Amino acid sequence: MSDLTKSEKSKLRYDYLVIRDRLEPAIRFAYSSIIFSKIKKLEQYRNAKTVMFYLSYGSEVITDIMINEVFTDGKEVAVPIIKNPGDGVMNAIRISKLEDCYESVYGIRQPEFNQDDVVNKRDIDLVFVPGIVFDSRGYRIGYGKGYYDKWLVDTEISKRIGLAYEVQLTDKLPIGQYDLPVGKLLTEKRCIEFTTN
């Protein structure tokens, strides 16, 4: 990735974090509830046996309310886990309750690592992907560590669904060779499907 692209991404990351952080907690909760109602209407979700959610951090779309209800739907839930910070490797790990997750790497919640609970990405039917800003092609900018883009390699684009508030959308982002788009993006206002392969 060129220095210019890195610089552009850093500025966008900062600008859109400021925008997202300005949303009042009550508004974020209301929007997150609307987004989850859209998730439940997806045929992909209804047919899914195993879904992967991120554990919301800061002002991200809140996933706790979603995860708790997904448990009652009888689906398996996987969440990201970083075993060794700095090695760029993320795994998906099965959880049975949110209370097993605690603040850990980078201040993000995750459960204890147990090899028996690691879920193969091929066995995950849907992956809900966070981001700071998304564009009209489904590309995203996250916190810049690259964990998701590395993990999402070899996953079908149709299984990748971004979650964001409408204020996190822009027309076009600078992208690097390892950036991967989502196939669908859900906001409180709409569900956007992308044609990028």
Collapsing DSSP to helix, strand or coil, 141 comes out as: strand
Question: Per-residue pLDDT for 1 more than 60?
Answer: no
* pLDDT tens-digit readout, 137-152: 999 999 988 899 999 9
How many CA atoms does the CB half-sphere of 178 hold within 13 Å? 13
In this prediction, residue 186 carries a pLDDT of 98
Looking at every residue in the chain, the average pLDDT score rounds to 93
pTM: 0.94
* pLDDT tens-digit readout, 122-135: 999 999 999 999 99
* pLDDT tens-digit readout, 38-95: 999 999 999 999 999 999 999 999 999 899 999 988 899 999 999 888 788 899 999 9
**Class of residue 119 by CB neighbours under 10 A (exposed 0-12, middle 13-18, buried 19+):** middle
Fold annotation for 3-193: Rossmann fold (3.40.50)
Question: Per-residue pLDDT for 97 more than 50?
Answer: yes
Least confident of 82-96, 155-169, 178-192: 82-96
In this prediction, residue 196 carries a pLDDT of 53
Closest Cα partner for 155 from 78, 87, 83? 78
Question: Per-residue pLDDT for 156 more than 70?
Answer: yes
Q: Cα separations (Å) of 74 from 32, 37, 47, 48, 50?
A: 21, 17, 11, 10, 9
More confident residue, 3 or 45: 45
Q: Which helix (H) or strand (E) holds 18?
A: helix 3-21
For residue 197, name the pLDDT band (cuts at 50, 70, 90): very low
Question: Per-residue pLDDT for 3 more than 80?
Answer: no
Domain ranges of the chain: 3-193
